[in-house]
Amino acid sequence: MATNMRDIKREIKSKQNTKQITKAMEMVAASRLRRAQQAAEAARPYADKLKEVVANIAAGTKGVKHPMLESRPIRKTGYLVITSDRGLAGGYNANVLRKVTQTIREKHKSSDEYVLFVIGRKGRDYFQRRSMPIAEEVTGLPDSPTFADIKSIAKTAVQMFENEAYDELYLYYNEFVNAITQIPVEKRLLPLDETAGLNEAASPTGASAIAEYEYEPSAEGVLEILLPKYAETLIYSALLDGKASEFGARMTAMGNATKNATKMISQLTLTYNRARQAAITQEISEIVAGANAQS
C-alpha cells in the first residue's frame, strides 16, 4: 500500500509539472497570437488596394495580356503549402496536410504531374517522408515573419508559372477565424483571371467603379511589375493568416492540455486520499486487534 501511495504521489507531481508547462505555453501563445492577428489585419488593406489597381488596369485597358492572367491547358500543377515549424498545435498542421494530400491523390496519377513549395518544417518533413517532389522549402521562420523571409520561395513559385513550368498554382493554408477556429483553405493563386476576384472587381456592373488612368510606359509594362508583386503579396498575406492560426491553435491545444492535467490531478488526488484513508483504517484495525489479543 505504501509503495502504491508513493507511485500515486509521484504521478501527481509529474502532472503538476506538466500543467505548469502547458499553462506557460498557453500564455506565450496568447501573447504571440495578438501580435500575429494584428499583423494579418494590417496586411489586408495593402493587398486589397493592390487588387483594386490590378483590376482597374486589366478591365480599363482593352486587349491587355499577361501570362499570369491567361488560362492554359493543365499539364502540371504547383502547390504552395503553409505549415508550422513546431507541433503542439492541435490539428493545425494535420488538417491542411490532409487536405492537400487528398487533392493530389484525386487529381494526379504520377508525381511528374505536380510540384510542391513548402513553408514550415512540419510540412517539409511530411512530404519528404512520402517522397513527394519539393521544388523549394522555407523553414525556421520567426514568430513575426517579414516579406523578406518568404520572398525567395514566393518569387520562384510565380516565376515558374510564368515560365510554364506548371500551368496552375494552388495555395493551401489555415485561415484565421478566431482563437478556437482555423479553417484549412484551398485557393487557386494562378492564373489570376479566376482568382482573387479580379473579374468581379473589374466588372462594370459591380460595386467598384473603374477609374481611368494613363500608364507609362504602357498598361502591359505596369502589369508586368504589379502582377508578380500581387501574387507574392497574396502568399505573404496567407502566411500571416497562417501564423495567427498557428498561435490560436496552440493556445487552444495548450489550454485543453492544462484542463486535462487539472482533471487528472484531481482524480489522482482523490485516489491518493482514498488509499491513505484505507491505510490509516488498516493500521487502526491492526492496533485494535493487537490490544484485544493482549486483554
- pTM of the entire predicted model: 0.83
**Do 132 and 205 lie in a common domain?**
yes
Cβ neighbours of residue 97 closer than 8 Å, sequence gap 6 or more: 81, 83, 122, 123, 126
Q: Give the ranges where 135-218 is alpha helix by DSSP (H).
A: 147-162, 198-202
Q: Which three cell numbers stand for residue 254?
A: 495548450
**Do 246 and 268 lie in a common domain?**
no
Q: How many domains is the chain partitioned into structurally?
A: 2
pLDDT, one tens digit per residue, over 208-249 is 455 566 777 777 777 788 888 888 999 999 999 999 999 999
Q: What is the CATH number of the domain that holds 234?
A: 3.40.1380.10
Mean pLDDT on 108-114: 93
Confidence of residue 178 (pLDDT cuts 50, 70, 90): confident
Distance between CA 168 and CA 79 in Å, rounded? 9
Looking at residue 101, its amino acid is T
Angle at alpha carbon of residue 33, lines to 31 and 34, rounded to 5°: 70
Q: For residue 211, what pLDDT is reported?
A: 55
**Do 18 and 138 lie in a common domain?**
no
**Do 217 and 279 lie in a common domain?**
no
Kindly state the percentage of the chain with pLDDT values over 90.
57
Closest by CA position to 244, among listed 88, 36, 26, 34: 36
**Do 225 and 210 lie in a common domain?**
yes
**Do 218 and 260 lie in a common domain?**
no
**Do 137 and 125 lie in a common domain?**
yes
**Do 104 and 187 lie in a common domain?**
yes
Domain boundary among 219, 237, 252: 252
Q: For residue 276, what pLDDT is reported?
A: 85
Which residues form the domain of 159? 36-252
